[in-house]
Copies of this chain bind each other. A is one copy, B any other.
Amino acid sequence: MRGTVMYGAGDVRIENVADATIVEPTDAILRVTRACICGSDLWPYKDLTPDDPPRVMGHEAIGVVEDVGAEVRNVKKGDFVIMPFAFSDGTCEFCEEGLNTSCLHGGFFGNPQIAGAQAEAVRIPQAEGTLYAVPTSEDPAMLGSLLTLSDVMGTGYHAALMAAVGEGDRVAVVGDGAVGLCGVIAAKLLGAEQIIIMGRHAGRLELAKDYGATDVVSERGEEAVERVREITGGSGVHSVLECVGSEQSMLTSMQIVRPGGAVGRVGVPHYAALPETANMFFKNVTVSGGPAPVRAYIEELLPLVMDGEIEPGRVFDRTVVLDGVPDGYRAMNDREALKVMIEP
């Protein structure tokens, strides 16, 4: 079958890769209906070296179950399902608490060990715990929003929950990528009164406003911090959704959060240490977050998608076939595209 292989920074190729096959009796094979490129895929696209093992990329997909292992009962051939970016058994102590990304028998897609979903098909370990069957036919208008439930919408929601967004709160969302935009949706769902989107890309900021952002801050560094203080009455925001993962974005997050507030971080950290840790202590600031247990959030978010109450699928602004994936990476890396959907 054909799949997307990353060999090094900027080096993405569409190739024949090993067919997805049942290895463990708990596996399933998913025929990919739609996959996509994630902002986090751009990190290796920037810094993967030729010494690192190549990897079949992709950790977000929806699709149809093509085959299941002998021990898989609750997922059937023909089911239309969402594949969360992490696989999990659904039964361990962490899964039972809703933290599937810490599953004792879990793992992640799209790395040198586990092939990813930017391909015609993908092997799903722990299929029963991982896949979520969608009780709908494949409505083309709905595919994008359903696909976001495999990562970005659940991740934005996680950021908002970990930032303890509550009714009437002032919230800042750092980063206007797909996760940040979904964070705006989530902050609004949780009742935030003021939602500040921090970013610089006109089209994305427009979408953020459609999603519920009340203010835009496009300054950077010190100036951005000043601006947020200004529009929040001086003391900053109750909650920050850190949706980038760079040192600068984390620094800004720690500087705009008000005493007693919280930073929910979901951007994979590309910094050695948390900045401002002394201030963090003296201001009683909470830092929380990590890989989002999106599997656990599908239950809550899917009905909102099905009712049309939220439309996270609007973050997709380009669709490519497999051969177009390398150019999709380039376009996202150049900030020419917000989020690229793949129709294998």
Contacts and interface: CB of A to CB of B under 8 A. Distances in A.
Interface of A: 93-94, 97, 99, 101-102, 162, 235, 259-260, 262, 265, 268-269, 272-274, 277-278, 280-291, 293
Contacts of A283: 102, 290
A234 to B, nearest CB: 9
A48 to B, nearest CB: 18
A278 B286 contact: no
20 contacts: A94-B260, A97-B260, A101-B284, A102-B260, A162-B284, A262-B288, A269-B277, A273-B273, A274-B274, A274-B277, A280-B290, A281-B289, A281-B291, A282-B290, A283-B290, A284-B289, A284-B291, A286-B286, A286-B287, A286-B288
Nearest to A250: B277
A272 B281 CA distance: 12
Please give the count of copies of this chain that the complex contains: 2
Nearest to A235: B93
A273 to B, nearest CB: 4
A259 B259 CA distance: 26
A289 to B, nearest CB: 7
B269 A278 contact: yes
Contacts of A285: 288, 290
B288 A284 contact: yes
Contacts of A260: 94, 97, 99, 102
B269 A102 contact: no
Contact of A259 (B99, B269, B286, B287): B99
Nearest to A293: B284
